[in-house]
């Protein structure tokens, strides 16, 4: 239950930060991607199922307001959440390097997916341009925030786990 509230809170918070605050904090016209951070972090910490579900709900929120096709972002983020779940087996929460690398890779994959399905299909061929001017800058900005956000998510998660174990002893 506690965990469910945590997930709902984090998805909604990410959504409002993304659409309400960070659109005003764009650096060089680029905004970071908080959904990828949340989805990938939860995928890594909690595994495939939860990453997948959290990604789905993040995507649905974004789809509801801005998608060309409703369901597209949900699909991309759900798959990303699932894939990051594979990392759970080889990963310590305290180590920062691996999560940051994974979040970076996830954001690049996200960018490539958006390019493939909604730009290439309309005949925009210049992939190096989109990679250099949109995907990579977005990833860098995202990673800067990921350092803080990942810590926050991981810390909250540990608090929930400790609370959970206390309950079990009772």
Partner 1 sequence: MNKNKRKQIKPRYVLWLIIGLCLLFIGLSLSSGGKLNIQEAVSTLVLPMEKGLNSVGQWVDEQKQHSRSVSELLEENESLKQQVDQLNTKISSMENNLSELDSLRELLKMKEVYPDYNMVGARIISKDAGNWYNNFIIDKGSNDGIQKDMNVIYDNGLVGIVTDVSANNSTVRAIIDDTSSVSGMLSKSTELCIVNGDLKLYQDGLLDVEMISKTAQVVAGDEIVTSYISDKYLPGLVIGYISDVSMDSSNLSQNARITPKVSFDNITNVMVITQLKADLVAAEAETEEEES
CB nearer partner 1, residue 96 or residue 113: 113
Residue 28, SS3 per DSSP: coil
Beta bridge partner(s), residue 27 = 30
Question: Which of 40, 44, 53, 80 is close enough to bind partner 1 by CB under 8 A?
Answer: 53
CA 109 from chain center: how many Å?
11
- DSSP code at position 30: B
Query: What's the chain's Rg over C-alpha atoms?
Result: 16
The owner of tokens 């690398």 is: 101
Quick one: which of 4, 97, 168, 170 contacts partner 1 (CB under 8 A)? 168
- Binding test (CB under 8 A) with partner 1, winner from 38, 44, 45, 74: 74
Which residues within the stretch 77-136 sit at the binding site for partner 1 (CB under 8 A)?
Answer: 78-79, 82, 85, 114-115, 118-119, 122, 124, 126, 129-130, 133-134
What's the rounded Cα separation, in Å, for the pair 136 and 139? Answer: 5
Listed ranges 65-73, 91-99, 143-151, 155-163: which one lies at the site for partner 1 (CB under 8 A)? 65-73
């Amino acid at each position: 239950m506690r965990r469910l509230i945590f997930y709902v809170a984090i998805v909604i918070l990410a959504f409002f930060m993304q659409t309400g605050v960070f659109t005003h904090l764009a650096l060089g016209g680029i905004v970071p991607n908080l959904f990828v951070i949340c989805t990938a972090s939860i995928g890594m910490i909690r595994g495939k199922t939860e990453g997948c579900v959290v990604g789905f709900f993040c995507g649905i929120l974004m789809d509801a307001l801005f998608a060309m096709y409703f369901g597209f972002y949900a699909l991309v983020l759900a798959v990303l959440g699932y894939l990051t779940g594979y990392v759970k087996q080889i990963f310590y929460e305290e180590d920062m390097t691996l999560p940051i690398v994974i979040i970076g890779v996830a954001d690049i994959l996200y960018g490539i997916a958006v390019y493939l399905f909604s730009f290439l299909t309309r005949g925009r061929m210049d992939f190096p341009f989109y990679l250099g001017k949109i995907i990579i800058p977005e990833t860098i900005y995202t990673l800067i925030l990921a350092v803080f956000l990942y810590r926050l998510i991981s810390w909250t998660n540990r608090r929930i786990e400790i609370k959970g174990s206390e309950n079990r002893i009772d």
